[in-house]
Each structure stands twice: as structure tokens, then as C-alpha cells.
Structure 1
């Protein structure tokens, strides 16, 4: 497969950036990083407890044996404890976890804000991430365990999570907020299992990773350029997972990306290369805290699936190659998800400076969904993909609109 000059440039820049961090740490002078953030070592439940919020951890087992952890804030500090609080499920994006919606603290993170506004808040953790890394029979180090993408998360993970929440709360319906891949998962479920549409009042898609033809982020682009050969090669060397939560990443965050470190600008450049860096909305001092909880891991096949959709320009099932596609789908190409079956009212929010899910792709998602009730562009022109979770002013730019939408629908 032949790469264009731009493709080679993207791959090279990524390699150079990673190498630069290591060299800068080894060769750079001494520095005096700021005091260690005490939240770095805390789990989701511990974070909630620290800030005085009730915290629960729940376990569900999918039909194909994956053991998933759900986190819950049954009520907030600023709203009274009462029965029948409307449940809301928040689903993170790729390589992330439930901590994403709590990491910036009670006044800035969506989880706390929703709980204080009177909602029963649930957080999903998709298969393979730090909190959902077990299986009934499969070894997490095996190829069989990692043989999934966001398709399986949509047809196995979300349905069991939905049913569990409704049973546990005694409610007939819930609302859903999905960020990036979290939106992809929902649309897979609602199109492949349309009976689940009736279980939701409303769905909010934050920068939905559905159509991603114009994606400019290097990692998914590399998978798009290399095709299935990259997945095959990595699997050949026993690599099935990408960007797991490790001590090395935490070390990089604490020492290389901390305030006062001469290498912090390199961390910012790498962040900018991969997801775009919004200087006005990103608290650089929080990088050690963020990197202590993210990334949280994903399967190689999940990234490969996104790479395939970049190439096809469509929202469709996993492409196994013509021969296996005929066996699996009875067609040479994988079928597209039938978005016309999604009847849940949907609100879409997107950022203008998103290099992962380009605004041009978001328009296409809006056009194929039959029941889009709100289509909102974040007012900050520099708003990026990760700003939906970590932006300094996410509350005023995004979360206040989310509250208005939830109250309306």
C-alpha cells in the first residue's frame, strides 16, 4: 500500500513527538514541578467520596461474557435525596472511562453538575477499559478477549446496561449522553435493536463519531492508511490493546507534563497534534491529573473499525475483507447501519475546531437521523473534541445547554 507524502508526514510527526518527550526528559535540565495533585491516585468511587457525593459501583455481565463496571451518583449535594429521580446514562468515548466526567471537580464536571441538578447519574465503562477489563471465561491477555470493536459495545454492552439501570431504578425510560464513540455505540444499538428506542426519553450526542471521513487525528488516520494489515501485524506480535492505563503514562503526566517541567510544551504539542489544543480552555496544570486517569485502554480492532469508516466515508459494520464478509454478511462489503430506525429524539452538539470529528461529518450525521430536535454549535470557535469533558468553561459552553435539553425532553 502506497502512502501519500501527507500520510508519511503524519506518521513521522507522531513518532518524532513521542521520541521528543523521552529525549527531553532524559536530556533536559532539572525542573521543579508543582505539588502533586491528591486526586491522581483516586478511583471514580474515591473521587466522589472525597467531594462528599454518594458513590456506587455496579457490575453487569454481557451476553458474551464481558464483566462491566457501572458507576453511579444516586443524588447530589445540592439537591435533596428523593425517590424517582430521572436516570441519565453518560457514556465515555474511546480510550476513556467514567472518570472523564468527574476529573475536573464538582463545579466543572458534568457528572457532579447533573447530580446536583436532580438527576440519578450513571456512568458506563465499555469493555476493555480500565474498569471493565474482566471476562467470565476469557483471559484479558488473549486475542479472543480483544476481538471486539464498538459494534459489540453497541449490541451487547449498552443493552444490558440499559436494562440494568431501568430495573434498578424502577423507571420505564432514561436519558442518554454519549461522547464521540459513546454516541456511535448508541446508534449501533438503536439501529440494530430498534426495540430499545422506546427505553429512552432523549439522546444527546456530543461530537458523535459516526461519519468521520474528514478526521485529521493521526492515530485513527494511521489505521485508515495501513488498512487491516496494521491490525494483523500488531496481533502477530501479540498486541491486541492500545493505550492502556499504565504506570508509564502516569509517570509521564506527573513528571514530564507537570507545571515547571521544561518538557511540558512538548506534551501540549502532542496533545495539539492528536486532538487539537485549545489554549483558552485547557488547564495545562491539570495534565498530570488527566494523564493519571486517561487513556484507559481500547482494543486494536476498535481503532481499526474507525479507520475503516474514515476510508469508506460511511457508518457501517466491521470490514473483514471480501471473503469473510461474504460469510458474515452475505455481501462483499459490510452493510451500513440503518439510521432510519433510530426514533429517539436526538440533540447534537459539536465544536468547530474538532479534528477528530470534523463539523462536515457532523452535518452528515444530522442529515441521516430522522428525529434531530436540536443541533448546537459550541460558541467558542476553538472548541475541540476533548473540550466537552475537560474545558475550563465547559459548564457555561455545553453543560448548561445539556440541562436545558434534559428538562425539555
Structure 2
């Protein structure tokens, strides 16, 4: 079957190329290092090996292989964390001066880009033991493992490398949930973080109003059954087979509309501030996902809770000592936390953030983005994200670095 699909895709690819020959942005084929350098910024790449053997790429926007702490005095290193199915490439789509890492770098900050397990990296090996193309065991992880292994490994490396005591965390979508899972399971990392900023994220998702997510979540047990029947650990592993076709389709002026529609599905609505020409670069980094990542999200939407991965009663009993997965203790997050919400993001609802905040002791900011049509993906792809999101995020990180003390937000909540 896979051979048949590959053959069909190959002929579609050749026919489309012969007849259309669309212009392809050179950035489509660039590595992350090439993209950053092409935007005029210096970059270093480091290999991180987690406690459970995953090989990660950690990117540092800096000229210095051995940073001078005095150069960044009074400024926390900033770690940018992508969401589920994302990659560090997402953060540089907007280009020089406007993209998030450059915005912080231009203001004197030490900027790092996180790349979770399962993301395209700069090193050929992905694990000390497993091959991600050949070994299903590679894909046996959910957001839990990213939270307790990947994030801590990168934070520790940054602190050792820079001789600093704390980092600032900025994360999009599921990255915010990974922050709270880390603080719950590894509370010692509270002492290593100045502020945790969550964009388009809430640990509680009771009121999500996105029909596709709700439908998939309702059918999560069916998906898990199919997964077990087919023996799949990677979610839709044939995705990579379609890369050549998608590369051409998103370059073509007509087919590009389909690519934009796909980002609309992910973002819950069509963006009105995403530049059509950017879709080539966005689509050139197709995600590879663990099935358990998807199911972990679906389970939590379905149950309106923030729990560990649900293996089913039998394995839950063996793994957790109880029939149902335990809840993460979001109250363990003691660091200053902030939430950013888009008005047209149907996945995240303000009331869910409010409910979570009643249990998070040190939430210092809930920022509803004033633009009425700001979607789930506009944080990283929207052309006005620099002013709407990056500037207030920078101001918060800067103020905390400067010793400004914010009072925690407590109910009753008042919001304009």
C-alpha cells in the first residue's frame, strides 16, 4: 500500500512540476541555522541528550560560544518553546527584526530555541538506541516525557553554559501545558525559572469551542483502538511521504489555498493577518507526532482536566497504582506565570484560564490580545504578532528581570 501511494505521489509530483513550475522560496530547503543566518543573525547549535536517551537540538542565537555573563547582566536567558507538532522553525517565519527570537535578541537578550523529541533537528541521530524511522519504541511518549525530560535537560544546559541561575520560558500552545507538567512533576525547576509565559494555552480545557477538537476527543478511545490494531506509535507516519507534493502545492498560487486552509484547521479559524507567501516556509516543516501526544490532548479535552497519560484501567493500575491517571498539580507552579489569549482562538477559552488561575498561586498577567480576529496560530505566523504579542511579552520579562514585583491575580476576575 505504501509503495502504491508513493508511486501515485511521485507521478503527481512530476506532472505538477512539468506543467506549473511554480516559484519556490529558497527558504523552503534551508535548515534552521541557514534560515537564521539568512535573516542576518548568528546561531550556535548544541546536542542535548535527555535522561531517557533522546537526542535534541538546542539553538542559541548568539555570536559567543562561551557567553560572557556580564554582557547579559540583569537579563534572563530566554527559552522559546514550540507547541505540539511545531518546531523552532515556526518562531522565525516572520523574518528579521519581527520574529520573536530576533525581537528579544535585538533588545539585548540571550535567546535559545527549544526543539522537542520528534522534531526535525540538526543531528542525524534522534536517540541513543532507537531510529525514529525504524523503531516504534522511539514514538512511545506524550507531552509528559517532553515536560519531565526534554525541558529540564535544555534548561540545565542553558544555565550551565551561561553561568546564570534562571531562564525565562515563553511557550506556544501545548508548550504551556508542558510548563505546568514540569513544575508539577519536577518542582525543583521553580527555582530555575524567572517567568513562564503561555500563549494560546490553558491546562484546563473544559469549554473549548472548536468542533474538530471536540469531535476527535469524543472518539479518542476509537482512535486508540485503531492505533493498537494497526500497531502505530507515530501519528500518520505517511505524512513525510507527501512532503514533495506539499512543497509544490504550497508554492502554486491556486493550490496554496489548500495549504492555508490546513493552517486554518490547526488555528481553529482562517487567519486574516498571515501573509499568503509565508505558507511555503510554514509548510516546509511538516510535523512528526507521537500518537500519544495527540491522545493525551484528546483525553484532557474529553475529561475537562489536566491529567497524565491515560493508558487504560489495566495499565493505569500498573503504572499509577489507580484506575485513572492522576491529575497534575498545577498549584506546584510557584514562578510568576502569564497567559495570552486570542479573541478568535476557539481552542482556548478565557473561562478555562480563569478556572486554572484559581489554582495557580502566582499568575501575574492575563492578556487578551485586542485584535478581534487573532487566531491560535497568529502568535507565530501573524504579521501583527510583533506589536500585539511580542512587545507585551518582552515588557513583562524585562520588568521581572528589573525586579518589578507583580501581585498575583485572584478572583473575582475583571477584564476589559
TM-score normalised by L of structure 2: 0.84
In the aligned structure 1, how far is the partner of 2:202 from the partner of 2:238? 22
Would the aligned equivalents of 2:22 and 2:248 in 1 still touch at CA under 8 Å?
no
Q: CA deviation at 1:59?
A: 0.9
Partner of 1:113: 103
| DSSP 3-state at the match of 1:251 | helix
Partner of 2:403: none
The superposition leaves residues 373-398 of structure 1 with CA deviations (integer Å, 9 ceiling, x where unpaired) of: 01100111111111000001110111
Whether 1:342 aligns to 2:333 is yes
Partner of 2:71: 82
Whether 1:49 aligns to 2:37 is yes
The size of the alignment, in residue pairs, is: 383
Moved more, 213-222 or 184-193: 213-222
The superposition leaves residues 302-326 of structure 1 with CA deviations (integer Å, 9 ceiling, x where unpaired) of: 0000010011100011111222222
Would the aligned equivalents of 1:41 and 1:292 in 2 still touch at CA under 8 Å?
yes
In the aligned structure 2, how far is the partner of 1:83 from the partner of 1:402? 18
Given the alignment, which residue of 163, 171, 175 partners 1:170? 163
Moved more, 351-360 or 174-183: 351-360
The superposition leaves residues 3-28 of structure 1 with CA deviations (integer Å, 9 ceiling, x where unpaired) of: xxxxxxxxxxxxxxxxxxxxx99999
Partner of 2:88: 98
In the aligned structure 1, how far is the partner of 2:207 from the partner of 2:245? 30
Q: CA deviation at 1:244?
A: 6.6
Distance 1:199 1:321, change over 3 A: same
Q: CA deviation at 1:201?
A: 0.9
Given the alignment, which residue of 35, 58, 68 partners 2:56? 68
Partner of 1:364: 355
| DSSP 3-state at the match of 2:374 | coil
Whether 1:382 aligns to 2:402 is no
Q: Any unmatched runs of 5+ in structure 1? A: 1-23
Would the aligned equivalents of 1:101 and 1:110 in 2 still touch at CA under 8 Å?
yes
The superposition leaves residues 46-70 of structure 1 with CA deviations (integer Å, 9 ceiling, x where unpaired) of: 1111222111111111111111110
| DSSP 3-state at the match of 2:258 | helix
Q: Any unmatched runs of 5+ in structure 2? A: 1-11, 401-416
Distance 1:301 1:279, change over 3 A: closer
The superposition leaves residues 79-131 of structure 1 with CA deviations (integer Å, 9 ceiling, x where unpaired) of: x9935553110100011111111122013210111111111111111111112
Partner of 1:4: none
The superposition leaves residues 227-270 of structure 1 with CA deviations (integer Å, 9 ceiling, x where unpaired) of: 23423423432432236796655434443233522x33333334
| DSSP 3-state at the match of 1:361 | helix
Partner of 2:177: 184
Distance 1:245 1:182, change over 3 A: farther
Would the aligned equivalents of 1:210 and 1:315 in 2 still touch at CA under 8 Å?
yes
Would the aligned equivalents of 2:200 and 2:348 in 1 still touch at CA under 8 Å?
yes
- Backbone CA RMSD of aligned residues: 2.9
Whether 1:392 aligns to 2:389 is no
Partner of 1:332: 323
TM-score normalised by L of structure 1: 0.85
Distance 1:258 1:168, change over 3 A: same
Distance 1:83 1:311, change over 3 A: closer
In the aligned structure 1, how far is the partner of 2:214 from the partner of 2:189? 32
Distance 1:274 1:403, change over 3 A: closer
| DSSP 3-state at the match of 2:145 | helix
Partner of 2:198: 205
